[in-house]
Amino acid sequence: MTDQSLDNAFLFRQPILDRKQELAGYQLSFHSGEEIGDEADRCDRRYRGAGAPLCAAYTELGMRSALGNSCAFIGIDVDFLQQQAIELLPPENVVLELLLDGLPDKATLTRCHSLRERGYSMALTNYQGIDDRSRPLLPMVDVVKIDLPRTKEDHLRDLAGSLRRLPLKLLAQGVDTREQMEHCRDLGFALFQGRFFAQAEIVSGRRLSASHAALIRLCNLVGHDVDTTVIEDAFKHEPALTLNLLRIVNSVGRLGNRFAQPVTSLRHAIALLGRRQLQRWLSLLLLAPGNDSSDPARSPLLQVAALRGRMMELLIEVGKPGDRKLADLAFLTGILSMMPAALGLPIDEILEQIAVEREVGSALRRHDGLLGILLALLECFDNDDAAGCDGLLTTLPGGFNRQALNTALSVALRWLNGSSE
């Protein structure tokens, strides 16, 4: 993939969650910005023909290290299936999605068998039942994808039931609501693709949980620069929050580089991070799972928030290089933008309880200023809205373009997974 192709397409990704609602991987796709046809047709075009550039992205954008332990689902059409370039992809980190319209011929089946022997996992897309297309492929695939928007409810139950005893995983594609996810999970699905986890019922005046209220108090203490001993004393009354904070700080570190020695105490964390970094991680804890036994670093909502914050920080370097304070505010803006989904409260009510700088509040409430435009840009980017991204990029000065956005995603993913930048 050349620099020109990076300029001409967006690298989109959709999270894939497992039955525990933890991040299992990403569906990767390229989108040129053409919006012809219905949503299902546009989705198909993003995956078809994207195998070659996505393979190249592993090298040019460093996507292999960027994805860490997360698996990349990559669409492979019948033409690219025969290319040797597929074998540049690491078998342990990818799932090859077979985009086959017609019946698989002998060459296709032979190639699938060969890739299987080399250790590659494969997924069968657009599954519509056991027929001449799917029958010879089912013994070779590990995942079967069923597109919810294209599947009627009674047919969905039949499709899931027909595969229940086979040694493979069912993946529900196009999961938009938690109700859809729970229904599919009841039917035996193991994987769920979509942004349903970021959708929440917003209820004005909702009562915060005790842990969330305590976190907001701590955020305000740090934001008002009170003495460190006051912060430590407040944490002594919240041992579970202290544990979760240390887990997050040790899993991500500072600016993406893991600490040489584990952070073992709050005072140690404050000394290493500084107040502004501590405010970042406290804000992230508001997005962490409520179950103390869960690893907060595996929370998809926390991952999206941290990724959005880091991308905003990186994009500030494009438009305002060297402005460290604005970059810090950009990171905080990205995190806080996911708070309504986490807390189920309108952003105005959240900001009444958390002390933030004026620029951050304006960006979150009205998408005002540079921070507000960047937030709107990343919201479009997360929703695979190429036209929206293009429109906002034209309003930004300097070097903001598709390539800058794709590069920021790759660098932010490496940071999130603890790889060096």
**How confident is the model over 194-250, as pLDDT tens digits?**
888 877 666 677 777 777 888 888 888 887 778 888 887 887 777 777 777 777 666
Give yes or no: residues 408 and 295 share one domain: yes
Distances (CA, A) of 17 to 171, 284, 334, 398: 9, 19, 22, 37
Give yes or no: residues 342 and 390 share one domain: yes
**Residue 230 CB: number of other CB atoms within 10 A?**
12
Which tens digit of pLDDT belongs to each residue from 282-323?
Answer: 888 788 766 554 555 567 888 888 899 999 999 999 989 999
- pLDDT for position 85: 84
Give yes or no: residues 272 and 372 share one domain: yes
Give yes or no: residues 183 and 215 share one domain: no
Give yes or no: residues 171 and 218 share one domain: no
Give yes or no: residues 224 and 93 share one domain: no
Does the structure show a pLDDT above 90 at 355? Answer: no
Average per-residue pLDDT for the chain: 82
Partnered with residue 122 across adjacent β-strands are 96
Mean pLDDT value across residues 342-367: 90
Q: Confidence band (pLDDT; 50, 70, 90) for 254? A: very low
Domain closes at, from 142, 163, 198 = 198
- pLDDT for position 218: 83
Distances (CA, A) of 380 to 10, 140, 326, 365, 385: 11, 36, 22, 16, 5
Distance of CA 418 to the CA centre of its chain: 15
Query: Could you give the number of structural domains in the chain?
Result: 2
pTM of the model: 0.81
For residue 274, is it left (φ>0), alpha (ψ between -120 and 50) or beta?
Answer: left
- pLDDT for position 141: 96
Q: Which of 132-136, 253-257, 327-331 has the least mean pLDDT?
A: 253-257
The owner of tokens 């002390």 is 355
Give yes or no: residues 389 and 290 share one domain: yes
- pLDDT for position 261: 65
Does the structure show a pLDDT above 80 at 36? Answer: no
Which tens digit of pLDDT belongs to each residue from 89-123?
Answer: 889 889 999 998 889 999 999 999 999 999 999 99
Distance of CA 390 to the CA centre of its chain: 21
- pLDDT for position 22: 87
Task: Give CA–CA dist 332/360, Å, rounded.
Answer: 8
- pLDDT for position 12: 87
At 113, the amino acid letter reads H
What percent of the chain has pLDDT above 70? 81
Q: Which of 53-62, 126-135, 305-314 has the least mean pLDDT?
A: 53-62
Task: Give CA–CA dist 137/112, Å, rounded.
Answer: 8
Give yes or no: residues 283 and 186 share one domain: no
